[in-house]
Amino acid sequence: MTIEYRLANNNDLGQVSAVEATAVDNVNKKYGFFQGRTNPLFDVVYFEFLMKKIPHAFWVAEDRGKIVGLATSWVRGSVWFLADLFILPSHQGKGVGRNLIERTLGSWRDTKIRNRVLITFAYNPTSISLYMRFNMYPREPLYFAGATSAIVRNNLKPSSKMKYEEKTKLSEIATQLKRIDKYALGFPLEWHHEYFLDVQKAKCLMFTKNGVAEGYAYVRKDGRIGPMAVTSRLSLEDVMTTAISLGAEQDAGRVLTLYTGSSVQQVSAAIKCGLRIVSPMLFMSTTPVGKWANYVCYSPGLM
């Protein structure tokens, strides 16, 4: 076996998405979380977007011309985020993951990195051990949780105490989003919002209190909720329950979100809406990051 490492290109995206789907299905089967085969092309649009934004940090591993692994990362300020690391089952345990991490981390060698961050499956001890060797340690429990739209509607009705308005143009809310993100996370999400608004066509709900933007939440046609961020943790439960309720009004028939287990407000909102845990995740970092009572994640790749 001779593994070669190189930067990805647009011709790789179908294989890259298939590698991710195979790796995810494998770990879910291994630990009892498998719920059906993942579409091998489900993340092509996401990877295509990353190719435009971070081509220098998008690496693949090849074995005799076949892509067997991938890694991507992005940086905000001095925070480095490992967005993706997926290896085919046939090539796991052979140093491919370590080599890919080193390469995508090395893509930012001219940037002063003070913190390394990622989100991973909480039930995969092999990956967690690998990340700890790169000085990233368990910090926060995260939970993918969902429910049918009918269950959400039966449990909760929209009752926001704050005013909110749907926004469709990033240019009109970029300043508010940056301020809210920096307060909740410690850094702005920047082009993530371009992906949410312009690529996914998600609804961005901007919540205001006393005429000032206090938080935002994204709602998608498929019922997926997040990210959400607020400048006051006291507003989080209100924003979250409203977003979940609106998610239940979409045509997908199901709502899904990724909340923080250490946040009383987020757990309370999930329970009120009738959500049940689907998959436990784990946030890992070199040093603590953000105010987790003020932020609800979207995905392991984009926070």
Q: Where are the domains of the chain?
A: 3-113, 144-296
CA 49 to chain centre: 14
Residue 293 has pLDDT above 80, yes or no: yes
pLDDT in tens, 151-189: 999 998 656 678 999 999 999 999 999 999 999 999 999
Residues 86-94: what's their mean pLDDT?
96
Question: What homologous superfamily is domain 3-113 in, according to CATH?
Answer: Gcn5-related N-acetyltransferase (GNAT) (3.40.630.30)
Taking the CA atoms of 191, 171, 235 and 212 in sequence, report the sign of the dihedral they define.
Answer: positive
List 81's β-bridge partners, or say none: 74, 117
In 3D space, the residue among 4, 222, 185 whose CA is nearest the CA of residue 81 turns out to be: 185
DSSP codes joined into one string, 141-157: EEEEEEEEHHHHHHH--
Q: Please report which helix (H) or strand (E) contains residue 10, including its range.
A: none
Per-residue confidence (pLDDT) for residue 190, from 0 to 100: 97
Contacts of residue 216, defined as CB under 8 A and 6 or more positions apart, other chains included, come to 173, 176, 177, 180, 204, 205, 206, 207, 228, 229
Domains 3-113 and 144-296 belong to one CATH topology: yes
Alpha-carbon distance 193 to 271, whole Å? 28
In 3D space, the residue among 201, 199, 197, 200 whose CA is nearest the CA of residue 177 turns out to be: 197
Angle at 302 between CA 7 and CA 82, to 5 degrees: 50
Residue 17 has pLDDT above 90, yes or no: yes
Angle at 285 between CA 261 and CA 90, to 5 degrees: 95
Per-residue confidence (pLDDT) for residue 161, from 0 to 100: 74
In 3D space, the residue among 148, 81, 145 whose CA is nearest the CA of residue 280 turns out to be: 145
Could you tell me the end-to-end alpha-carbon distance of the chain, in angstroms, rounded to an integer?
35
Residues 192-199: what's their mean pLDDT?
98
CATH topology for 144-296?
Answer: Aminopeptidase (3.40.630)
**CB-based contact 167:218 (threshold 8 Å):** no
SS3 121: strand
In 3D space, the residue among 118, 71, 87 whose CA is nearest the CA of residue 282 turns out to be: 118
Please tell me the total number of residues recorded for the chain in this structure.
303
Per-residue confidence (pLDDT) for residue 158, from 0 to 100: 59
Residues 23-51: what's their mean pLDDT?
95
Contacts of residue 245, defined as CB under 8 A and 6 or more positions apart, other chains included, come to 152, 153, 156, 157, 158, 273
pTM over 0.85: yes
Q: Please report which helix (H) or strand (E) contains residue 220, including its range.
A: none
Residues 247-269: what's their mean pLDDT?
96
How sure is the predictor about 209, in pLDDT bands with cuts at 50, 70 and 90?
confident
